[in-house]
Amino acid sequence: MTITYDDREGQPSDTGSNEGYALLNRHFPKDTIISEFLLVESNTDMRTGQGLADLDQMASRIAQTPGVTRVIGVTRPTGEKLEQAQLPWQNDQIG
């Protein structure tokens, strides 16, 4: 037995749900349609520089997990690190 959270595997391909998924898959990446969410709780305020750095490091590590195609979060709203949050960009703005 293989346990999966993919609803498409548990029903025939000609059901309305699977036909809808097939239509969506033609236009959007799979991880946009069926997303997994990770909620992070902390006793400290994560809106600090250190908190945001910790969240970004966590996102980076999760992105290295086999099967994970993209990680979106407060420090990477598009799935990529924000250019403005990186030192080369900031140094260029200061210079």
Q: Does one domain contain both 95 and 62?
A: yes
| Structural domain boundaries enclosing 20 | 1-35
Q: Does one domain contain both 48 and 31?
A: no
1 CB contacts (<8 Å, ≥6 apart)? none
Q: Does one domain contain both 48 and 17?
A: no
Q: Does one domain contain both 52 and 9?
A: no
Q: Does one domain contain both 28 and 57?
A: no
Which residue do the tokens 């293989």 mark?
A: 2
- Domains in the chain, number: 2
The model's pTM: 0.58
pLDDT by position in tens, the chain (length 95): 677 777 777 788 899 888 888 888 888 776 666 677 888 889 999 988 889 889 999 999 999 998 888 898 888 888 888 777 777 777 888 87
Q: Which two tokens stand for residue 45?
A: 């305020």
Are the C-beta atoms of residues 16 and 24 closer than 8 Å to each other? no
